[in-house]
């Protein structure tokens, strides 16, 4: 008997250990960069996050924000006159000359494709009169239009300033927003462009190695590189296949190679591990006898194996992937249906009320008669 008990105890211990091993999930990726985020460009779901809210220096990824701000707040057919300040801007350039007249769209192309710092300053001065006023306005734009929460820019190109910072998540929000604009998307995905300027004629070639195919990854649709000593290597990349559109941001990688390795890992993980599901319009969710529903069809991004969902007391539906909330959707509360009163029910109710009223009168009159009769009998 004791041997049988011992056998069952050992068996239970083995099974419990197996359950614990299964439940303890390993981190899905080993990312070397200081911060990284992978986001579904369509749903906004966060598929991977490492220090994604840490304030870091973006370097030239700033130019993504400058580009979409210029496209939405300027006229891309405007002709910009290049200033002396723009010409003197340090770092990577497209070699503008003072007084040169360049279309705004061409400056945006030179800024995104060849990372021209001089082009970025020319854009800022054209839009808002000065780099300082530009910084004030783009910061307000990024908060009000895109919804960033940890970003502050002091210039249009990302040259180092200790007050010039953002986060991986904010940059993903900015990039996702920008990619919805067809002009931005076209420029962001340009691999090469003939450049004819007053002092420089060349073929611009994107600096992004995934975009130009030096590192083969299917579906790359756009990208921007960045580097200053203080930021180290930064990289923004967009990609898509028939099922998903993804945005990957990596910040403060120790080397260019590390930034690309991390990005490839993120993209491969995203495309192999996630899928879309549609929550149908009016689909019901219940918590503590309170019902909520989706007002419209809602696309959510789920892990193919480990996705879960939960709903809060306030009707917030949360999609949980790898133990982390990746997407939150506010549902509508379903109000209880009012009781429908038909004409027949109303007439029946009124009739019942009248009958009760007359019944009370009859009982009262009968009681009165009985009382009078008793008094009369006593007198007799």
The per-residue pLDDT for range 5-53, each reduced to its tens digit, is 444 444 444 333 332 222 233 456 899 999 999 999 999 999 999 999 9
Q: Which domain, by its residues, includes 297? A: 280-333
CATH of the domain at 52: 3.40.710.10
Give whole-number Cα distances, 54 to 12, 51, 58, in Å.
44, 5, 11
Q: Which residue numbers are catalytic? A: 60, 63, 115
Same domain (yes/no): 255, 285? no
What does the pLDDT read at residue 4?
46
Give me the numbers of helices (H) and strands (E) for the chain, helices first please. Answer: 10, 17
> Does 232 count as an annotated binding residue?
no
Q: Say whether both 289 and 164 belong to one domain.
A: no
Q: What is the pLDDT, as a whole number, of residue 246?
A: 98
pLDDT value of position 291? 76
In a domain, 348, yes or no: no
Instruction: Report if residue 380 sits inside a domain.
Output: no
Task: Work out how many domains the chain is built from and give that number.
Answer: 2
- Please say whether the beta carbons of 319 and 25 come within 8 A: no
Last residue within a domain, chosen from 221, 242, 273: 273
Mind listing the pLDDT tens digit for each residue in 290-336? 777 677 788 899 999 877 777 776 777 888 877 778 788 878 777 76
Residue 342, pLDDT > 80, answer no
The mean pLDDT of the chain is 86
Q: Which residues have a Cβ under 8 Å from the Cβ of 240 and sit 6 or more positions away?
A: 41, 219, 221, 246
E strand map for the chain: 35-40, 46-50, 79-81, 101-103, 192-196, 201-205, 220-228, 232-240, 245-253, 274-279, 284-287, 290-293, 298-303, 308-311, 316-321, 324-330, 332-333
- Asked if pLDDT for residue 360 goes beyond 90, the answer is no
- The string of pLDDT tens digits covering residues 104-156 is 999 999 999 999 999 999 999 999 999 999 999 999 999 999 999 999 999 99
- 237 and 302 in a single domain? The answer is no
Same domain, 110 and 132: yes
Same domain, yes or no, for 82 and 179?
Answer: yes
CA distances from 107 to 55, 63, 65, 66 (A): 29, 11, 14, 11
Residue 8: predicted pLDDT:
44
- pLDDT (0 to 100) of residue 91: 97
Residues 239 and 172 in one domain: yes
- Indicate if 219 and 318 belong to the same structural domain: no
Res. 352: pLDDT tops 90: no
CA-CA distance, 130 to 370, in Å (whole number)? Answer: 103
Name, of 14-23, 264-273, 291-300, 337-346, the range with top average pLDDT.
264-273
Residue 285 pLDDT > 60: yes
What does the pLDDT look like over 54-112, one tens digit per residue? 999 999 999 999 999 999 999 999 999 999 999 999 999 999 999 999 999 999 999 99
- Per-residue pLDDT, averaged over 202-219, amounts to 97
């Amino acid at each position: 008997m004791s041997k049988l008990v011992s056998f069952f105890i050992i068996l239970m211990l083995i099974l419990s250990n197996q359950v614990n091993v299964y439940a303890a999930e390993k981190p899905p990726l080993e990312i070397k960069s200081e911060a990284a985020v992978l986001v579904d460009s369509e749903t906004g779901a966060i598929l991977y996050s490492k220090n994604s809210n840490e304030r870091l220096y973006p370097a030239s990824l700033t130019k993504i924000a400058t580009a979409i701000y210029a496209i939405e707040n300027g006229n891309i057919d405007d002709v910009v006159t290049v200033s002396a300040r723009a010409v003197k801007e340090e770092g990577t350039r497209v070699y503008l000359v003072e007084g040169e007249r360049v279309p705004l769209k061409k400056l945006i192309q030179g800024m995104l494709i060849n990372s021209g710092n001089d082009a970025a300053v020319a854009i800022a001065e054209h839009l808002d009169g000065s780099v300082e006023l530009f910084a004030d306005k783009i910061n307000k734009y990024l908060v009000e239009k895109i919804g960033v929460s940890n970003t502050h820019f002091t210039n249009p190109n990302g040259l180092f300033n200790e007050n010039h910072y953002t986060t991986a998540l904010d940059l993903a929000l900015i990039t996702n927003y920008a990619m919805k604009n067809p002009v931005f998307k076209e420029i962001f995905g340009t691999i090469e462009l003939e450049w004819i300027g007053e002092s420089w004629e060349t073929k611009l070639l994107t600096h992004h190695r995934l975009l130009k195919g030096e590192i083969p990854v299917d579906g790359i649709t756009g990208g921007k590189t960045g580097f200053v000593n203080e930021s180290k290597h930064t990289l923004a990349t967009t990609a898509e296949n028939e099922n998903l559109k993804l945005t990957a941001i990596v910040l403060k990688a120790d080397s260019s190679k590390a930034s690309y390795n991390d990005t490839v890992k993120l993209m491969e993980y995203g495309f192999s591990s996630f899928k879309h599901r549609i929550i149908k319009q009016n689909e019901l969710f219940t918590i503590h006898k309170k019902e909520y529903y989706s007002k419209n069809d809602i696309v959510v991004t789920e892990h193919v194996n480990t996705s879960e969902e939960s709903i809060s007391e306030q009707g917030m539906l949360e999609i949980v992937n790898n133990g982390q909330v990746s997407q939150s959707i506010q549902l509508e509360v379903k109000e209880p249906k009012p009781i429908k009163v038909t004409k027949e029910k109303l007439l029946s109710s009124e009739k019942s009320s009248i009958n009760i009223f007359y019944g009370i009168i009859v009982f009262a009159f009968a009681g009165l008669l009985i009382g009078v009769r008793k008094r009369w009998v006593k007198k007799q």
